[in-house]
């Protein structure tokens, strides 16, 4: 009898120890979450303070918004604004070639031209264009000579050797595919800008001049749209037309698939006597495997049935394959759920860095409201019911 009592007591003690271990782990997780909330709270306070210091009315912002430059610097005037699927930096593709199905719309201001649609005449003849824009959501006012790109996993390199948005002059450059020109607006594909991004300039993409792998020799180059007098009359236009119909690689990664790394550690490729080099860390990247839970698949089916969103699964997959997390999030909060907004959808997923996978658990409409008036994806009551 005593032995049974003693055995029961040992079982109770063992259970209590397990419960204590679980409690300690939960307390540790809560402390980490409180620390993260405090960090995010401080960032939000700094953001609000900056907004209050730089606030202008809608009319003034539309017509006179300018990049922050010194008194003796260059003043630039935005010519238009971009509307995209991505309302915040989190989850926005880092390069235009990552999510080629993502769509954007560039609208010119009528304060720049009386008839802005006149300025776009002739652009419909090009398949691609360059967009120069202003990184208007850079929260930090400090510029560093060295930055940590996500692909270097915390290692630092010079800011001018990267595509980092945190630059002395926060100007972005993207090569996008023109879908159609309509009035004073341009619809394009391949987005790496946040919604509401101010545009500084646009230029048509011409592979003969913009892509060094396609540069022709001086004797056969087109000059001002005319063929060289001593060149064949029909060879060059055929080559140009065939190149314009191809989808270009992400800017800075031309030829990355075919190039090889020599002993110097620099990748290179030669074409028509031109050598293009890129650092190995630009192209040596393995994409993550993206899977959707049964719940997420059912939600996507309902979204496609109830809305006009075209194949959102491919767009979500394209964003997650390239791992949109920053180095800080990857190292400090890798086991936490990652959420982002895309095309008015709220996506919840979780990364598993040990096997290089990411699982999407939930996809909800970001604009749908529940009974309490909050967005459906933010309401804890609605989420518990689903």
Per-residue pLDDT of the chain (386 residues; tens, 9 = 90+): 666 777 777 888 888 888 898 899 889 888 888 888 888 888 888 888 877 877 766 555 555 444 444 455 778 889 999 999 888 888 888 788 787 878 899 999 988 888 999 999 989 888 899 999 999 888 777 788 988 887 787 788 898 988 888 888 889 999 999 999 999 999 999 888 889 999 999 999 888 778 877 655 444 444 444 444 444 444 334 433 443 444 444 444 434 344 333 333 444 445 455 565 667 766 666 789 999 999 999 999 888 887 777 788 988 998 899 888 888 888 888 778 899 998 889 999 999 988 999 999 999 888 777 777 777 666 666 554 44
Instruction: Give the whole-angstrom CA distance, residue 155 versus residue 303.
Output: 40
Cβ atoms 89, 58 nearer than 8 A: no
Instruction: Give the whole-angstrom CA distance, residue 313 versus residue 296.
Output: 10
At residue 289, the pLDDT reads: 93
Burial of 236 (0-12, 13-18, 19+ CB in 10 A): middle
Q: DSSP state, 158? A: E
Domain spanning 289-385: which CATH class is it, in words? Answer: alpha beta
Phi, psi of 184 (to 5 degrees): -100, 20
Cβ atoms 123, 129 nearer than 8 A: yes
Strand ranges, E, within the chain: 80-83, 103-108, 128-134, 146-147, 157-158, 171-182, 185-189, 197-204, 267-271, 274-278, 289-292, 338-342, 345-352, 357-365
Q: CA angle, corner 325, sides to 172 and 157, nearest 5?
A: 60
Torsion sign over Cα 211, 213, 214, 216 = positive
At residue 3, the pLDDT reads: 66
At residue 207, the pLDDT reads: 83
Task: Give start and end residues of each alpha helix (H) in the chain.
Answer: 2-54, 58-64, 207-210, 235-244, 280-283, 294-306, 312-321, 327-332, 380-385
Checking 138-145 for CB contacts under 8 A at 24+ apart, the result is: 138/165, 138/166, 138/170, 139/43, 139/46, 139/47, 139/50, 140/166, 143/167, 143/168
Q: Could you tell me the two tokens for 72? A: 């003796």
At residue 48, the pLDDT reads: 86
Residue written as tokens 């031209």?
Answer: 113
At residue 82, the pLDDT reads: 93
Instruction: Give the whole-angstrom CA distance, residue 198 versus residue 320.
Output: 26
At residue 368, the pLDDT reads: 75
At residue 380, the pLDDT reads: 64
The answer to whether 80-204 and 289-385 have equal CATH topology is no
Instruction: Give the whole-angstrom CA distance, residue 180 versus residue 105.
Output: 10
SS3 for 316?
helix
CATH classification for the domain delimited by 80-204, as one of 2.40.30.70, 1.10.3720.10, 3.40.50.2300, 2.70.98.10 = 2.40.30.70
């Amino acid at each position: 009898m005593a032995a049974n009592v003693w055995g029961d007591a040992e079982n109770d003690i063992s259970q209590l120890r397990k419960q204590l271990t679980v409690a300690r782990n939960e307390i540790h997780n809560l402390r980490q979450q409180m620390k993260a909330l405090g960090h995010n709270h401080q960032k939000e306070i700094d953001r609000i303070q900056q907004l209050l210091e730089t606030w202008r009315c809608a009319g003034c912002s539309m017509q006179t918004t300018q990049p922050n430059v010194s008194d003796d610097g260059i003043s630039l005037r935005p010519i238009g604004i971009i509307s995209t699927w991505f309302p915040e930096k989190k989850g926005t593709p880092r390069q235009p070639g990552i999510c080629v199905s993502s769509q954007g719309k560039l609208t010119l201001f009528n304060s720049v031209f009386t008839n802005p649609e006149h300025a776009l005449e002739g652009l419909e003849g090009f398949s691609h264009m360059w967009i120069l824009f202003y990184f208007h959501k850079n929260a930090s006012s400090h510029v560093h000579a060295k930055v940590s790109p996500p692909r270097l996993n915390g290692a630092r390199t010079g800011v001018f050797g990267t595509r980092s948005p945190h630059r002395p002059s926060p100007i972005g450059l993207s090569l996008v595919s023109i879908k159609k020109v309509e009035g004073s607006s341009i619809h394009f594909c391949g987005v790496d800008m946040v919604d509401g991004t101010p545009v500084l300039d646009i230029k048509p993409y011409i592979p003969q001049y913009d892509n060094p792998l396609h540069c022709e020799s001086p004797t056969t180059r087109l000059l001002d749209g005319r063929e060289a007098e001593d060149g064949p009359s029909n060879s060059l236009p055929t080559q140009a037309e065939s190149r314009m119909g191809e989808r270009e690689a992400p800017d800075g990664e031309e030829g990355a698939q075919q190039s090889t790394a020599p002993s110097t550690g620099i990748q290179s490729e030669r074409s028509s006597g031109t050598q293009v080099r890129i650092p190995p860390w630009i192209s040596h990247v393995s994409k993550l495997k993206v899977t959707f839970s049964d719940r997420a698949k059912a939600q996507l089916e309902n979204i496609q049935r109830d809305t006009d969103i075209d194949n959102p699964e491919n767009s979500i997959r394209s964003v997650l394959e390239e791992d949109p997390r920053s180095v800080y999030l990857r190292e400090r909060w890798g086991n936490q759920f990652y959420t982002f907004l895309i095309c008015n959808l709220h996506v919840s997923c979780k990364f598993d860095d040990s096997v290089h996978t990411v699982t999407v658990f939930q996809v909800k409409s970001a604009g749908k409201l529940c009974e309490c008036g909050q967005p459906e994806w933010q309401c804890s009551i609605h989420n518990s019911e689903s």
